[in-house]
Amino acid sequence: MIPEIDREISQRFHNGDREALEVIVATCQGSLFGIGLKMLGGIHDAKDFVQDVCIKIYNKRSLYNPELPFAPWMYKIAINLARERLRNRKEFPGSDSMPAEIIEETPRHLLVDHEQSQAVHTILQQLEPKYRECLVLRFEMDMALKEIATTLDLPVGTVKTRLRRGLMAFREQWLKNGDPQ
C-alpha cells in the first residue's frame, strides 16, 4: 500500500524540516525496502537503497512541489535510483541472502514464507527491469495504472502492456520453478 504523507508534513519537508524527514522515513521505509528488495534482489542492497533514497529525497527537496502528492514524487526518485543501481551492477544479483543471525531468530513459519519470497525475488530478477518495476509498483505498492504511469513517466498504454507481458513472464517462470507452497 502507498503510505499516506499529509500535506503539512510534506510542506515542512520541502522547507527542510528534519523532523518531517524523520516522519517520512518512519512511514515509508517499509515500502521502500519492499521496492528495493524486489527490484535489486538482496537484503543488504535493499537496506542501502532505503537509506540512499531517503538521503536523495532530502537533497532534492527544493524540487518537490508541496502542492502535489508526496508519494509519487518520492517513488519516482526511488525507481530512478533502482534503475541506476541495476545499470551499474555488473554481477547478476541474488547472492545476497538473509543473514544467519536473522534466520536463527526467525520462527519456522516465517522462514517458509521467506522461501517463497526468495523464489519471487529470484524470478523477478530474471525479468527485464522495465517489466519488474511495473509489477513491483502494481503489486508491492498496490498502485493504480495512472499512478504507475505518473511515477514512471510513461503513457498508461505502455504501462498496461508492460504489466501484461511482465505478468505473463513471471507466471511462466513461477510455474517452471514450482510453487514453493
- Is 29 an interacting residue with respect to another protein (CB under 8 A)? yes
Tell me if 143 sits within 8 A of 160, measured CB to CB: no
- Is 138 an interacting residue with respect to another protein (CB under 8 A)? yes
Contacts of 146 (CB under 8 A, 6+ apart): 156
The contact pattern for another protein, residues 80-109, with x = CB under 8 A and - = no contact, is ----------------------x---x---
| Min CB(55)–another protein separation in Å | 5
What are the two backbone dihedrals, phi and then psi, of residue 154, each rounded to the nearest 5 degrees?
-130, 155
| Complete DSSP assignment for 114-129 | HHHHHHHHHHHHHS-H
| Complete DSSP assignment for 15-63 | TT-HHHHHHHHHHHHHHHHHHHHHHH--HHHHHHHHHHHHHHHHHTGGG
- Is 15 an interacting residue with respect to another protein (CB under 8 A)? no
| 83/140 with CB nearer another protein | 140
Helical packing angle, 108-126 and 156-177, nearest 10°: 120
The contact pattern for another protein, residues 115-134, with x = CB under 8 A and - = no contact, is -xx-xx--------------
Q: For residue 155, give the C-alpha cell.
A: 503513457
- Is 60 an interacting residue with respect to another protein (CB under 8 A)? no
> Which stretches of the chain bind another protein, using CB under 8 A?
18, 21-22, 25-26, 29-30, 33-34, 37, 43, 47, 50-51, 54-55, 58-59, 102, 106, 110, 113-114, 116-117, 119-120, 135, 138-140, 145, 160, 163-164, 167-168, 170-171, 174-175, 179
